[in-house]
Structure 1
């Protein structure tokens, strides 16, 4: 592995370890070099097994254990195949019939030199209010409309956090969040009311969260985005984010 590749894998590891704390699941198990998380099916990250060490492997017995843990919780077994997964385990997951649920990019941006700006329309709270949770859930689809399951995740955040709301004429129309840990900040939960899209509010709320992260002493910000979301990817690139890695979230249908 080249030195530059080693540096990149180190950054992937730093992001992946922090994601566990930035988006905490109600139930979490550490099994070998893997973190196995359960959140009643709300979001892929919070309901999947993820490697926390370069070259992390799962033997057949441990993989079967993880599958049984998910099935006993009424969930499809779910594995995130990031660049940290060992090749033998990647091959084993594919051979067992795990199918792609979604594919995402991890992106990162340096924050050095960023000057936080005051935006009177941007309201930031240190804890997620009931209004913030309800506002985010109301503008999602599918399982992500479940207020209780979202609350069970965001209310467990224990690190410095920003729960952001963008107001237009006093009406909350866009939301996002950031969690700071040891010089890096995760940005996520960006949603804009359908009636206010195309007005640059997503950009402004992400910039506001980047400014908050810099004010918290962070040197970089990172996020994860669906590979098919060309609009969001274009927005993040225009703000200086670059692709750090790609990964797949794969599930084994519960009847398999």
Structure 2
């Protein structure tokens, strides 16, 4: 079973599908994708994400505020908790820290406060968190530990950091997810990290519409392309494509246990 564990269906480029989301979803299904997790990045768009999940049995969703969006300063823990009660919501996030685009300490503090609220909400409702981290390794790990994120668990999505960071996160019970970046020509260090991630902690994703994998790099990404990520990661681990799909599907179901697959 092939699963796209992280995509933004409300943000896809639908021009190749005559402007219809169903076209993109059908293309994913025709490429073997059996389930998709549509990830929320702003609370004001949560209802759009929820509606997509409610209309399709093979789609789940999350609720959260991405660290790079203005809404991060107004993260409402009560809204996270209340919205997580929908049966389609299987995770909190995405949340986390991104110091690559924002260098000022004042913004870092806003991100950190929001990240903590997400973890607290996840612990309260018993759902895993989806973590975005970039150029913020130490603070990300410290906050996960300080807020007892091992209680809720979660995933470091679209992973691009060091093996050491992955290992510390896995010690907290976290999974590590790889996107199309692992296929990029200049990503050899990331490929070496991917090879060393234990199979029972491994997930794959598209993060579509961003970061399309080779051979689609430069195009707008879509869930169908998780097939390319899966085949590439299977080769890195010396597995057959079917073995990789089976392993990552089980990991997805173990982590996002509220998903109805």
- TM-score calculated relative to the size of structure 1: 0.33
Larger helix fraction of residues: 2
